[in-house]
Structure 1
Amino acid sequence: MNAHLQGHTVSNLQAVATSPLLHVDNVSLEYRTAQRVVRATHHVSFEVGKADRFVLLGPSGCGKSTLLKAVAGFIEPQEGTIRLQDQAIKGPGPDRIVVFQEFDQLPPWKTVKQNVMFPLQVSGTLPRQEAEQRALHYLEKVGLAAFADAYPHTLSGGMKARVAIARALAMQPKILLMDEPFAALDALTRRKMQEELLLLWEEVRFTLLFVTHSIEEALVVGNRILLLSPHPGRVRAEIHSHQYGLHSLGGSEFQASARRIHRLLFDEEQAQNQVFDLDFTDVRIAY
């Protein structure tokens, strides 16, 4: 490994090692069906630093959405602990806001502005006037200030997604949790939303935990990617990813990286709880 790459890798690892915001330690999660108890994840550990764009990536059924729900406080681990700023997560809280893929959760009788204001008021976070000011601030951030008085049924799917993101960020959570938020959108709108999410992150620098089963989306959105095995989800590898951006889609280097991640996900001989630094041209072991 050359000196430049080594220094870059050491810097990455030091950033990960110092004061993680979120610490998931040896977590196993289960859920019940009518017939049996199903283990969704098995002994999963990872850390998320402040302003990370951390992606949980894996095939359907690997437990990535279940992990996100556990971080949100909706599910209690059977084994292990989840801590946010060294405080054990015991249930849902305004410090963790979830954006799901179903944007029709926006109450249709409320305007866009009222939808963004609602959690601020119902949680007692802000009085009405301050809630309105903050709602307008974040609607401007997502490019919807002109639609503040519109109703959800008049909006496109992408616009509803932006309202949901504005509503979440207006709560100023310690970590934003997004569960396949663009999966229901058409391909062109999905790309646009990925781009807008990255531009918003550049401005606000929020901490993001993002779930997807798309390798391409993980490479575009994440600066760190945790690969989970098929059911039950176990950690296959962690990747420190350079930012490709949407301009890289379809490029030979991007596609080569996507193929390498696919092999790491599904070939147990290639990855067992390892951490990688993903270069534009190669995958290198960081330690």
Structure 2
Amino acid sequence: MQHPGQMTAAAPLLSVENVTLEYATPQRVVRATHRISLDLFEADRFVLLGPSGCGKSTLLKAIAGFVQPVEGRVVLDGKPVAGPGPDRIVVFQEFDQLPPWKTVLGNVMFPLRAARRLSRAEARDRALHYIERVGLGAFAEAYPHQLSGGMKSRVAIARALAMQPRVLLMDEPFAALDALTRRRMQQELLELWDEARFTLLFVTHSIEEALVVGNRIALLSPRPGRVRAEINSHAWDMQSLGGADFQAAAQRIDHLLFGPGDAEAAA
């Protein structure tokens, strides 16, 4: 099956062009990534995979417009990214960022109303649609303290999708969940993608999660992060877990990330 990035010869939706990122600590300036280049196409499920500290989250923040590159640029729909915007919505790991005084419906409606593009009735209808899509229709009037961690994650995803961004950015969104809830959320994310075909950029340091969630995976070297390899992973899904071929693919990725060439790549 042809993956979405190959369906047409159209230009990429999002391009990361030779992006170098740095941040300051009290001791020194740290180079987080070094001249990373990536292309995302419409409806890609693109995963950034690498060890802790390789610059995955910093790169995601640069794509979101929160961090400015010291070299290179990020281009969306042919225009350089100059700052945050509703065309790129981020779902972080900390789902407790949901305002506790707002219901599920209120939380999903809030950014729609803040953007001033929809009337209250239109915002309510769209919010309810996405709340239903993530399986929380019965909890629209519930408050965050009444929800489990997995349910909060679904609210965050519904809130992001309701904004209908050009790219949905997810920064290790399921890392804090227990193993069973994490597996369920991966499945639900894939089902939502199958319905809506949004463009996803997903950060993880789990090889299995990368293979399941992504149709393309960029492997990043230890800091400063460089693209070590790009892998097509559209052959794998939730049913692949535990299979011999799946485990062999995971081992190959592990070797690429942490094999004998690791020291040279990080130099």
Q: RMSD across aligned C-alpha pairs, in angstroms?
A: 1.9
Residue type matched to 1:259 in 2? Q
Asked if the contact 1:224–1:238 (Cα under 8 Å) also holds between the matched residues in 2, the reply is: yes
> Is residue 22 from structure 1 mapped to residue 8 from structure 2 by the alignment?
no
Per the alignment, residue 172 of structure 1 pairs with 164
Question: What 5-or-longer segments of structure 2 have no aligned partner?
Answer: none
Per the alignment, residue 248 of structure 1 pairs with 240
Q: Aligned pair in 2 of structure 1 residues 233, 169: CA closer, same or farther (>3 Å)?
A: same
Asked if the contact 1:96–1:175 (Cα under 8 Å) also holds between the matched residues in 2, the reply is: yes
1:89-117 residue CA offsets vs partner (Å, 9 max, x unmatched): 00000000000010000000000000000
Per the alignment, residue 141 of structure 2 pairs with 149
Deviates more, 1:184-193 or 1:235-244: 235-244
Equivalent-residue separation in structure 2 for 1:228 and 1:250 (angstroms): 24
Q: Aligned pair in 2 of structure 1 residues 119, 263: CA closer, same or farther (>3 Å)?
A: same
Equivalent-residue separation in structure 2 for 1:185 and 1:129 (angstroms): 34
The percent identity for this pair of structures is 70
Report the secondary structure of 1:101's partner residue.
Answer: coil
Q: Aligned pair in 2 of structure 1 residues 95, 155: CA closer, same or farther (>3 Å)?
A: same
Q: Aligned pair in 2 of structure 1 residues 206, 33: CA closer, same or farther (>3 Å)?
A: same
Residue type matched to 2:205 in 1? H
Q: What is the number of residues matched between the two proteins?
A: 264
Equivalent-residue separation in structure 2 for 1:128 and 1:118 (angstroms): 10
**Structure 1 stretches of 4+ moved >2 Å:** 11-18, 266-270
Asked if the contact 1:115–1:167 (Cα under 8 Å) also holds between the matched residues in 2, the reply is: yes
Residue type matched to 1:75 in 2? V
Asked if the contact 2:14–2:74 (Cα under 8 Å) also holds between the matched residues in 1, the reply is: yes
Equivalent-residue separation in structure 2 for 1:223 and 1:16 (angstroms): 16
Per the alignment, residue 103 of structure 1 pairs with 95
TM-score (structure 1 length as normaliser): 0.88
Displacement of 1:248 after TM fit?
1.5
Equivalent-residue separation in structure 1 for 2:62 and 2:260 (angstroms): 26
Q: Aligned pair in 2 of structure 1 residues 164, 14: CA closer, same or farther (>3 Å)?
A: closer
> Is residue 62 from structure 1 mapped to residue 62 from structure 2 by the alignment?
no
Residue type matched to 1:174 in 2? R
1:187-216 residue CA offsets vs partner (Å, 9 max, x unmatched): 000000000000000000000000000000
Residue type matched to 1:261 in 2? I
> Is residue 83 from structure 1 mapped to residue 49 from structure 2 by the alignment?
no
Displacement of 1:266 after TM fit?
2.2
2:116 to 124, 127, 131: 124
1:192 to 169, 181, 184: 184
Equivalent-residue separation in structure 1 for 2:182 and 2:6 (angstroms): 33
Per the alignment, residue 208 of structure 2 pairs with 216
Equivalent-residue separation in structure 1 for 2:141 and 2:260 (angstroms): 52
Equivalent-residue separation in structure 2 for 1:158 and 1:230 (angstroms): 30
Report the secondary structure of 2:210's partner residue.
Answer: helix
Asked if the contact 1:180–1:211 (Cα under 8 Å) also holds between the matched residues in 2, the reply is: yes
1:204 to 190, 196, 202: 196
Residue type matched to 2:255 in 1? R
Displacement of 1:125 after TM fit?
2.3
1:2-22 residue CA offsets vs partner (Å, 9 max, x unmatched): xxxxxx78x887448631100
> Is residue 48 from structure 1 mapped to residue 40 from structure 2 by the alignment?
yes
Residue type matched to 1:213 in 2? H
TM-score (structure 2 length as normaliser): 0.95
